[in-house]
Amino acid sequence: MRLQLTRRGDYAIRAMLLLASRCDEVLSGAEIARQTAIPERLVTQVMGQLVRAGLVGARLGRHGGYWLDSAGRSTPILAIVEAVEGDARRQRCVLSGAPCSLEHRCHVHDIFAAAQEALISRLAEASLESAIGSSGT
C-alpha cells in the first residue's frame, strides 16, 4: 500500500512552501519553476488551481506573478491538497476500486476508512508554517 500524493499535489505543496517562505513577495511562474524544479507549464496549471481556491494571490502582466501574504502561512496542508486533487474523502473500495456502499462494504472498509480519517485530520491540523518550522528552514 502506498500513501502518496499525485504529482499535482506534490507540485502544489512545493510551490506553496516556497511562497510561504517568501511571504508578500511576488514570484513569477518561471521563478517558482526554477526554485522548485516543477516544469513551468505545470506551474501555471497548479497555481491557477490554487488561485481559484483562494489560497494565493495572482497578478497578470510583465511584473505579475503569485504571492502569499503572511496570513497564508496558516493554510492547512489539506486545503492545498484538496485544491488540486479534490475531496480527500473519496469513498472507493481499497480492494475493488469501485465506490463503497453501505450494502456492499468490503471486510477492511472500516479499517481503511479510519486510517483515511486519521490522515485527513493530520493534514487539516498541519499548516504551511508548521511544515516550514519542522524542516529547519
| Domain contains 27 | yes
Kindly tell me if the per-residue pLDDT of 47 is higher than 80.
yes
Q: 43 in a domain, yes or no?
A: yes
Residue 102 resides in a domain: no
Distance of CA 95 to the CA centre of its chain: 26
Residue 40 is assigned to a structural domain of this protein: yes
Is residue 26 included in any domain, yes or no?
A: yes
* Domain contains 118: no
Tens of pLDDT, residue by residue over 49-90, are: 999 999 999 998 888 999 998 889 999 999 999 999 887 776
pLDDT at 90: 66
CATH number assigned to the domain comprising residue 83: 1.10.10.10
pLDDT at position 121, please? 94
Instruction: Answer whether residue 105 is part of any domain.
Output: no
User: Full-prediction pTM beyond 0.75?
Assistant: yes
What pLDDT does 113 receive?
82
Cell of 56: 494565493
Give, to the nearest 10 degrees, the angle between helix 40-52 and helix 29-36: 110
Question: Which domain covers residue 37, as residue numbers?
Answer: 7-88+127-135
3-state secondary structure (DSSP) of residue 87:
coil
Residues 6+ apart with CB under 8 A from 87: none
- In the chain, the number of structural domains is 1
Average pLDDT value over all residues in the chain: 87
Taking alpha carbons only, the member of 19, 18, 11 closest to residue 40 is 11
